[in-house]
Amino acid sequence: MSLSEMGNSLSKASAENVSAEVFSSAIAEAKPLSVKEMEAIAKRLRRHIISMIGRAGSGHPGGSLSAVEIVTALYFRVLRHKPQDPGWSDRDRFILSKGHAAPVLYAVLAECGYFPVDELTTLRRLDTRLQGHTDCTVTPGVEMSAGALGQGLSFAIGVALAGRLNSQKYRVYVLLGDGECNEGQVWEGAMAAAHFKLDNLVAIVDNNGQQIDGWNREVMNLDPFNKKWQAFGWRVIEVDGHHLTQLTQAFDQAKLVKGQPVVIIAHTIKGKGVSFMENNPDFHGKAPNAEEVEIALKELE
């Protein structure tokens, strides 16, 4: 299957909601997607995020939109995973620590075939599998139930240590928010990961500069952010978090690092892709109304 055929296959599968088995089989057999094809997927993810949050009338669009390219690169280029077998023991693990960004994870899981794309319309409804924060007991492909911020890195360390103890070769990827790094538990985890030399662990920080109360520099300044991670014993890679080539190269580079964990600081824009949401703290946890949804979707055509 050619790259162009793969892109068409993905688009058709998404549109027609084919079974997870068929969709994931197509992914497994195809060559890696091109940057152009991943960009098309990223645009679909943004449309899903706007549509599902708008329909729910509740959710966190800003930090979901800023992480779109990160999860696109991971799920369509980096991770070893099987949508038809979410519990595959040798899968790479992706852990969403900033759990309020659940819409971006649900969107990419649906595009990969873990569940039908139509199910995205059930976000935050009673009895849905797609709650406002992730729940690993009900949602295929979700590795950790998220709630309070700051816990994902510690969880990921446990998973990485388990892989080492069990002589398994899977890698662990954990996505943190930059505002989340105000939490002391993040830095306890950072110290532990370096102490145990967890070179099967990669943290990615969605460094969009904002949190619920405004700009990080005003709430709790993180700078010099890269030097903090270095001081805790991590290899630091900095990239444009919306540049798919830079992201995939960073993930490739991380695989070559031995004897220490890696953190990829991905510089992003909160609300990326929607003009009135970009760098706007109001849309950290505010759903767009019907008129705003229409405008946003038109911008993302």
Task: Judge contact between 209 and 216, C-beta under 8 A.
Answer: yes
Give dist(CA 73, CA 40) in Å, integer. 12
User: Is a pLDDT exceeding 80 seen at residue 180?
Assistant: yes
Average model confidence (pLDDT) across the chain: 91
pLDDT computed for residue 25 by the predictor? 42
Q: Over 80: is that where the pLDDT of 3 sits?
A: no
Label residue 22 by pLDDT band (50, 70, 90): very low
Q: Which of 88, 142, 137, 84 is nearest to 114 (CA)?
A: 84
Q: Are 144 and 134 in contact (CB under 8 A)?
A: yes
123-to-33, 132, 135, 177, 181 alpha-carbon distances in Å: 28, 7, 12, 21, 27
Q: Name the percent of the chain lying above pLDDT 70.
A: 90
Smallest Cα–Cα separation from 175: which of 198, 199, 207, 148?
A: 207
* Burial track 54-78 (b if 16+ CB lie within 10 A, e otherwise): bbbeebbbbbbbbbbbbbbbbbbbb
**In the chain, domain spans:** 3-299
State the DSSP H helix or E strand holding residue 129, giving kind and residue range, or none if neither.
none
Edge-to-edge strands of the sheet including 201-207? 93-96, 172-177, 201-207, 262-267, 235-240
- Which of 20-24, 71-75, 131-135 is the least confident region? 20-24
pLDDT for the residue 288: 98
The SS3 assignment for 162 reads helix
CATH architecture of residue range(s) 3-299:
3-Layer(aba) Sandwich (3.40)
Q: Note the pLDDT tens digit of each residue in 138-165.
A: 999 999 999 889 999 999 999 999 999 9
What local confidence, expressed as pLDDT, does residue 47 receive? 98
Pairing of strands 262-267, 235-240: parallel
Contact 84, 24 (CB under 8 A): yes
Q: Residue 214's pLDDT band (boundaries 50, 70, 90)?
A: confident
As a whole number of angstroms, the distance between CA 173 and CA 262 comes to 10
pTM of the entire predicted model: 0.90
Cβ–Cβ under 8 Å, residues 222 and 176: no
pLDDT tens digits, 27-55? 444 578 999 999 999 999 999 999 999 99
- Cβ neighbors of 89 (< 8 A, separation 6 or more) are 168
